[in-house]
Amino acid sequence: MKREVEPRRANRLLNPGCVVLVTARHGERSNFMPAAWVTPVSHDPPLCAVAIAPKRFTHHLIAQSKEFALCIPPLSLAEKVRLAGDMSGADVRDKFAAVGLTPEAAVVVSAPTIAECLGHVECRLIRSFTAGDHTIFLGQAVAAAVDPRAFDETWTLPPDPALRPLHHLGGPWFAALEKRVEVATD
């Protein structure tokens, strides 16, 4: 028998999605924040969506710059991801230094990527819309890169935790998938 879950926590049934560090830059300010509410939404064109609360400093930077990057941290960065979520770029001038992560120049967008992450997707904002207490930013992927030790046509999930993407279960809980399984088709 299943037990009831509060509707406001139903999102946790849909996780564990890969947590990302959303980066943005406008003018002289760069920032990043962890986000688990991210998903691909189209192959052609390649689109992805991320939900961010308007009170987040990164939200402001994306709204102004019209671009962002989604950086995929490994399991080994779980503590830094949690720390980043506990501070605001509005209060910390250099959140990258405060957390101990290295910003790198992206290939196409002005938002930085993060050196310690397994990969990233650079996005140009297509549109945004309000969805309850969050804004959905719909971005078109304009560039992407990944560590080939961690990804071939999908995540390889090797034994090394530094090469496995981090997943958010909700609250302070994180995980990594253990192995990939190929299911044969007829």
The rounded radius of gyration (Å) of the Cα atoms in the chain is 16
Q: What is the mean pLDDT of the chain?
A: 90
**Residue 9 placed within a domain:** no
**Measured between alpha carbons, how far is residue 29 from residues 20, 24, 80, 99, 109 in Å?**
20, 8, 20, 16, 14
pLDDT at 3: 73
Give the 3-state secondary structure percentages of the chain, helix then strand then coil, rounded to 5: 20, 40, 40
How far apart are the C-alpha atoms of 182 and 170, rounded to whole Å?
Answer: 27
Q: b or e along 16-30 (b: 16 or more beta carbons within 10 Å of the residue's beta carbon)?
A: bbbbbbbbbbbeebb
**3 state SS of 97:** helix
Could you tell me the residue range of the domain that residue 22 belongs to? 16-169
**Residue 179 placed within a domain:** no
pLDDT digits (tens, 9 = 90+) for 22-55: 999 999 999 999 999 998 888 899 999 999 999 9
pLDDT at 178: 84
**Residue 185 placed within a domain:** no
Q: Which residue has the tokens 């509410």?
A: 37
| 177: CB partners within 8 A, 6+ apart | 16, 155, 157, 164, 165, 167
**Measured between alpha carbons, how far is residue 89 from residues 20, 24, 25, 56, 66 in Å?**
16, 11, 11, 8, 18
**Residue 4 placed within a domain:** no
pLDDT at 4: 73
> Residue 42 sits in a domain of what CATH number?
2.30.110.10
- Work out how many domains the chain is built from and give that number: 1
Neighbours of 88 (CB within 10 A): 15
**Residue 175 placed within a domain:** no
Predicted confidence band at 170 (pLDDT cuts at 50, 70, 90)? confident
**pLDDT value at 16 more than 60:** no
pLDDT digits (tens, 9 = 90+) for 124-162: 999 999 999 999 999 999 999 999 999 988 888 898 988
How far apart are the C-alpha atoms of 90 and 26, rounded to whole Å?
Answer: 13
**pLDDT value at 69 more than 60:** yes
**Residue 163 placed within a domain:** yes
